[in-house]
Amino acid sequence: MLLELRVENLLLIERAELRLGPGLNVLTGETGAGKTMLARALDLLLGGRPRPGTVRSGAEEAWVEGVFALPAGLLDHPDLEELRERLPEGEEELVLGRRVGASGRSRAFVQGRAASATDLRELGRRLLSFYGQHEHRRLALGSAQLEALDGFCGSDHLAARTAFADAHARARTARRALEGLRDREGARDRDRDLLLYEIAEIEELEPSEEDEAELLAARERLRHLDALRAAAGVAAEALVPEGLEPGAAALLAEGERLATAAAGADPELDALADRLAAVRIEADELGAELRRYAEGLEAEPGGLERVEERLERYERLRRKHGGTVASVIAHAERCRAEHDRLEGLDEALENAMRTLDEAEREERTRAEGLGATRVEAAPRLGERVEVELAELAMGDASFTVGLEPREGALGPLGAERVEFLVAANRGVEAAPVREIASGGELSRIMLALTSVASAGGPPTLVFDEVDSGVGGQTARAVGERLRALAAEHQVLCITHLPQIASLAAHHFRVDKLAAGDLTRASVEHLDDPAKIDELCRMLGAEGSDPGARRHAEELLAAA
């Protein structure tokens, strides 16, 4: 149930707040006062697209907020799983919000948290059904007619339809999976050859990050071989020359000899002599190692070319498979896994065909159950609608629900197509409801359908001047139908007929006020005296008119 509706800076409305109650709520006011603005607010709240001029002139943004009593199990639907995970648990109310900037950009909110317009639509269609001034045009749609028939079939049928929709989705998924496997089967040999080529190319290199690092170091060494050899040779010659000239090691040895000659004379010199001996030993060893290093730098013929060729293979594989050695290794693993899947494709095809056969069998079984219920309910729906139409001053009308099988595959709603056939008067051949010309007749047909086929629907129904084109006793009958609906649903009706307004449990009036160059609209909840004044206005008279007041009081008393 819609508990509160708050609107700020929407069209002519600067600020309005409606605290709605159960039963029949009506909204009245002068033509152009802004009644339909509240219908626009609900449309925005339920994910509708903002229209030009939505934001009140001079304001930066418009805001619409609706507070709903949260129906049990509403968020359990699979389509709302992602949204459910983002919302707090244990809430009893659901707050939807929509902010629209003057530029036309909008933001959506659920429980004060950022959401999308799609989230609002998914929640909104489960919370509220909106019947606009031209909503009867939906009756021309086969899907809307099928929805009406299924609603008449009852909640068990609607649950069965949900189960069929799940089975239909599983069959569709299984069908696509099988088609994908068959496509892969057609290209299996080509794909397998390509996978084997890429696996072999990588395995031949046996890549690793350590190997690549060693190759890079070897390339640097081989590229600077002559410089390395010269540097090591010169250093070795300086320490331990091969000729007769003394090197650094020989000079150190002479210094060591002279220092040890005075051993024991001074402890400090003895310590320095020990250090000098260590340096002489290190010089001898370092000179020998440098000479061995220089002699070992003899390059193998073609060594640099082999290293360069292997590094080029690393570079080529990195470019092809992700830019790093790790991504090359991961690609090889994926290729092996894909190759294994291709090798097991025959078994996968058998499993997929078996899965599809089971899914299609369940889909057909559930579709047959839906079809049987619809066939049994169709004539009953026609009879019930005719009874309702008689109450709505269309006693001579006939209403028939035609069922015929869908062409081709099963659809998401089953195996049948529905066509509503109507004859508004006796002796007139029945025709599809979309060919009915009178808007008033279409409005009454829609109300009759809603009255008898609202099972399983949202808890709140909104009618925006659904009484268009009717008056007199017919208007009273329309009001009675709305009040009967309000016994099981919360009903909000935007109306211009006093016969309907008098039946309301909660009556709101929209007033338009002009102040200078700015026009504003306001909404007021009416008490009983104010209701009489408003009914007098709707009857085309002043509130001070005794006859009009008597008529208004009679309308309220009769309610």
For residue 117, the tally of other CB atoms under 10 A from its CB is 18
- Longest pairwise C-alpha distance within the chain: 146
Tens of pLDDT, residues 107-135: 999 888 888 888 888 888 888 877 765 55
Question: CA–CA separation, 424 vs 438, rounded Å?
Answer: 10
User: Which spans in 15-104 are helix H?
Assistant: 35-45, 81-86
The Cα–Cα gap between 401 and 456 comes to 20
Q: How far is CA 299 from CA 218, 221, 229, 235, 288, in A?
A: 11, 10, 11, 20, 20
Q: What is the pLDDT of residue 456?
A: 59
Which tokens in the block code for residue 441?
């007749």
Predicted pLDDT of residue 459: 84
Token output for 313: 């293979």
Kindly give the pairing relationship between strand 2-10 and strand 460-464.
unpaired
Which of 462, 455, 454, 479 minimizes the C-alpha distance to 393? 479
Enter the tokens of residue 523: 């909404």
CB distance 253 to 279 below 8 Å: no
Q: pTM of the full predicted structure?
A: 0.61
Helices (H), 70-154: 81-86, 117-127, 142-153
Of 10, 202, 190, 208, whose CA–CA distance to 97 is shortest? 10
Over residues 471-526, the pLDDT tens digits come to 677 778 888 888 888 888 888 888 888 888 888 899 998 887 766 666 677 788 89
The pLDDT score that the predictor gives to residue 174 is 92
Find all residues with CB under 8 Å of 447, minimum gap 6, and list them: 388, 392, 463, 466, 478, 481, 482
CB of 263 closer than 8 Å to CB of 271 = no
Q: How many CB atoms lie within 10 A of CB 257?
A: 12
> What single DSSP character describes residue 558?
H
Task: Choose among 68, 66, 53: nearest CA to 9.
Answer: 53
Residue with tokens 């600067």: 14
Q: How far apart are CA 355 and CA 380, in angstroms?
A: 38
Q: Could you read off the pLDDT of 311-352 as tens digits, one per residue?
A: 888 899 988 898 899 999 999 999 988 888 777 778 888 888
Beta carbons of 37 and 11 less than 8 angstroms apart? yes
Residue 532: name the closest of 559, 554, 506, 558 by CA.
Answer: 554
pLDDT at 244: 67
pLDDT of 81: 75
**What is the C-alpha to C-alpha distance for residues 188 and 342, in angstroms, rounded to an integer?**
7
φ, ψ of residue 419 to 5 degrees: the values are: -135, 120
Share of the chain above pLDDT 70, in %: 91
pLDDT (tens, 9 = 90+) of the chain, 559 residues, equals: 889 999 888 887 888 888 999 999 998 888 766 666 777 888 888 888 888 888 888 888 999 999 998 887 777 776 777 777 777 777 788 889 999 998 888 899 988 888 888 888 888 888 887 776 555 556 667 777 888 888 888 888 988 998 999 999 999 999 998 888 887 777 777 777 888 888 888 888 888 889 888 888 888 877 777 687 777 777 877 887 877 677 887 788 878 788 787 777 788 888 888 888 888 888 888 888 888 877 776 656 677 788 888 888 889 998 889 889 999 999 999 998 888 877 777 888 888 899 999 999 999 999 999 999 999 999 999 999 888 888 877 888 889 999 988 887 888 888 999 988 888 787 778 888 777 655 667 777 878 888 887 655 678 888 876 766 666 777 788 888 888 888 888 888 888 888 888 888 999 988 877 666 666 777 888 988 888 888 898 888 887 788 888 888 888 887 6
What tokens appear for 106 in the block?
């909008």
Q: What are phi and psi of 490, to 5 degrees?
A: -80, 130
The percent of the chain in helix, strand and coil, each rounded to the nearest 5, is: 55, 20, 25
Coil, helix or strand at residue 436: coil
pLDDT recorded at residue 140: 66
State the Cα–Cα distance between residues 93 and 111, nearest whole angstrom.
9
Provide the sign of the torsion angle of the four alpha carbons 313, 316, 320, 326, taken in this order: positive
